[in-house]
Structure 1
């Protein structure tokens, strides 16, 4: 009798375990037996001589970018910065990729400075311990291997960072020292140009800082930047059947810009959603009279941890005009029975004329916001606020990317 009871107990335990395993497999697919090493799909082959070397020959250098305090720039200051950056980008060779990565994360305000000024002391006491949004910015400049020759491309899959390639070798790109030497003049001009902007400060990242920055980004630990990534391990990544992506315990979502507002404004009086709708303690004014960047609603205007990526790839204007011209000619066959084709041809011709007339620098641009949270419901609320932030960018629209 005891033997039968023990047997039944064992069977029940096994069934319970089987049901639990089935439930886990239905809700989340763990990267176990089918897992791949991150190094097998990440194009980075090595970080050396203060540069990131990709397996296909792309070479990246990084900078810490120290920006002015929010709302401290006059219109003339902002216009000056815009013109200086525009001139700097024109100096870069076609195929260069400039990537600004801004990290925003929650923290508490602390001020240990003593002041005899009664007003300053009272302000310090008032704000002490309040929840605030911290921010820091990394800037990366990538010099591609020259095989694209500045040609425009239709999507982001042309960069090695987006290709799922298995590099059969572990040695770095063999000609990287020669490439670094070729890049030196461009980098020197770019660094001097950035440093000459009075409101900016820059500091080039060394190899260890580059390694730490990559770890913090991939691991979603940007709110607590690591001092030595070589002692850390990246959290496992998983995707469930609903297409939700997780890094460690964090659910992740990316919202990419799909359509800019019809009228672009360099300086606007920003409008943000009610920060209290998120439920946090950070106070974000919803109506600010001071003019600032058009991107403010998805930057400091979002009262929670997030990352903002701005990627600009310099393209060759002549190659751009040629490619658009060829696309315009290809539409000749359908213009007679498809009116939208004629309208597109007129837009293409106007665009090419503008480039030629005003000597504009052409570029491929991508923009996205990354949010993460341990709770799926809270993440959905964050996604809704990011979508609202895009709409405040002069009615821009975005797309919530899938797991792929």
Structure 2
């Protein structure tokens, strides 16, 4: 029996291909010079086909400025990680739901993506470089030629131009890596160490490399698949392709051509993309020579004749269209620590390559050489037999150009989820977009039909805003926030026949005279009480009301014992002000005093609504950080609903005036329909235009598309002054979405994103998706996934609300304990 084959071993120090790092650049033992960048990519599912084309054109243009011979090596890392919450965050310290949210996502798996770009100027052209010449097989090397100072300077200048061209024409951003990031420090591993361990960690260990049985890096068993031949590639390529799982007949959603080899391939892997820039004249001469050889042999083989035609077509395009000839190679290096998983891994990668329309080719014998050439700065050592000729435009189509959703740089925001993996993402819809100029106001317009998850999104949003110091005032007509308000200890005001809501809009907080805004809100209130929805106050009537309010407060100043309220105002108008009107000779057609007093009498002492505007005590809600006005019982009352809503909005304006430096939010659900009348248009316009100046935002929520289509007040005031548009499941309106698109000024890309909501929900997760557009320039679809604790708090299902109330009663009103118990029941049901 023959002894087992033992391959020779060598130390990494002997074979590693990088000679040194100088001026932040890698110098290989072949005397190649490499500049390394970290490449920032746009987020997945956020680009339109036109934006993909623009990005692609910028890359192709940038490739032309690089000197030859050179190699552009793009390396995308996709490494499995798990979400790790920070329970020590002050934001979670006293938040039951916040901590429950983080526990729910703890250990949620996702792919961490990091992208690097290496631009190498090789000392010599290596179009005929073969595997045996690789540095992996040579222990000693003396470079034949080296770059002189002039060549080095020209290379650095070209790299600078490359960076500017890429960043000016696309959303790509390049940041050069420092020496410490490349080679590491005494305490942290650099990129070179990380690659040799296939581990994106600052503590990447030094591991053995075993090439005796394929490719094994430490405990990681690797599979390498490459695109190395033209015959293996799709017949046509394009920078963007239709993503079927999120597209409809009316709205194709685009992804990059190479997306199946990026985030859509859910395993540990590297995607290497090489573009080799040889001297164009020499490359074309080689092609001419090969074409001539094939022409002489065409009579002996049909395949030779076909290949000759291929060479002729290539040369014709290169000369006629001035295309840049290049060589290219693309490979996927995937790994697992369990050898038993290799067959499944092989199937995953093969299927991903097949989705490109390409033929997967597994590398075995040459895998070590290709892996070795993937070391940062060693792309010039790549074997030429594993490359194929093409043009720069076609090669750039195979670049992966998408990355994960990124957390906002701002400390303020709300947690939503990446729609691909469900990983929590911090999203800032207010501050960061304002700083970047993406939006000019923080107002939001939310549209979502019943059952679309609207209540869960709005509950999650206002809770997180409140927990970050925001004063929240909610106007609701469906008990959507009752559970959250009770848990947070907020003020919940609802209208009951035996205990109606009472206000005193004439009382000035802190005493003294009212300011101009207070007087204006009182005039709007009086007009609303007096006039019909479609009836406007004349100029004379407006002046008369202005004088009435002014003179009333002047009298109160002279008579401090008189209490300000609607009763005393009514009596003032009925007596002293009537005398003033008679003295001034104001005609009845200019101001009908009798009509005014008659219409407003129900709100005066003894009238049907005497309680409404004559509260005995001041409802000073300005200092309350969380308030819910539940108006479900009066939503159909044509008298009470608009008046109460108007008073609530005046309360919010008081918050705007008095709470300096405090973030404020008013969220109005279906109540906006009652106040969106001709008489209220100016007031709504004032609120939506002014709230920005007081560090505030107004949020309008609706669920019926018919409520917004054709409503001029809503369109011209609310929508036009809401830079943040939020849509939930729109499949109900898919056949008429063009109306919504036009009304909200959505682009075709935003339309495709909005109609992709909930088309590809992941099994085993309980969530809905939400589309968010900021200023019409930044848009994305997120997942709204909540913990069981949040679910039982936010739910609007009557049966579930009663169950929570019963559990709270059994625990003597301990709502937090009831939520925990009910959440555990829900987990057991879902298990």
Number of the residue aligned with 2:305? 342
SS class of match (1:73): coil
Q: Say whether 1:52 aligns with 2:26.
A: yes
Deviation by residue 1:151-210 (Cα, 9 ceiling, x = unmatched)? 7x366649x7666222357x9x97676653332211221222233245222210111212
Partners of 2:281 and 2:215 in 1: CA distance: 41
Partners of 2:43 and 2:98 in 1: CA distance: 18
TM-score, L = length of structure 1: 0.76
CA RMSD across the alignment: 3.4
SS class of match (2:343): helix
Partners of 1:41 and 1:59 in 2: CA distance: 18
1:65 to 39, 50, 58: 39
SS class of match (2:77): strand
Number of the residue aligned with 1:206? 178
Number of the residue aligned with 2:122? 144
Partners of 1:338 and 1:306 in 2: CA distance: 41
2:139 to 148, 166, 176: 166
Partners of 1:123 and 1:314 in 2: CA distance: 50
Contact 1:315 1:363 in 2 (8 A): yes
Number of the residue aligned with 1:261? 234
Number of the residue aligned with 1:246? 216
**More relative contact order, 1 or 2 (CA 8 Å, 6+ apart):** 1
Number of the residue aligned with 2:14? 40
1:130 positional shift: 2.1
Number of the residue aligned with 1:288? 246
TM-score, L = length of structure 2: 0.39
Partners of 1:312 and 1:300 in 2: CA distance: 22
SS class of match (2:45): coil
Partners of 1:178 and 1:164 in 2: CA distance: 32
SS class of match (2:64): helix
2:79 to 105, 111, 125: 105
Contact 1:264 1:394 in 2 (8 A): no
1:99 positional shift: 0.5
Number of the residue aligned with 2:294? 331
Distance 1:395 1:207, change over 3 A: same
1:120 positional shift: 11
1:345 positional shift: 0.9
1:70 positional shift: 0.7
Contact 1:250 1:374 in 2 (8 A): yes
Instruction: Extract unaligned runs of 5+ from structure 2.
Output: 184-189, 248-252, 369-831
Partners of 2:33 and 2:300 in 1: CA distance: 48
Bigger Rg, which one: 2
Matches within 5 A, 1:3-402: 34-109=8-83, 127=105, 129-145=107-123, 147-148=124-125, 153=127, 157=131, 164-167=137-140, 179-211=151-183, 212-222=190-200, 224-226=201-203, 234-240=206-212, 243-258=213-228, 259-270=232-243, 287-289=245-247, 290-402=253-365
Contact 2:68 2:121 in 1 (8 A): no
Distance 1:35 1:74, change over 3 A: same
1:318 positional shift: 2.3
Distance 1:325 1:120, change over 3 A: farther
Partners of 1:332 and 1:74 in 2: CA distance: 44
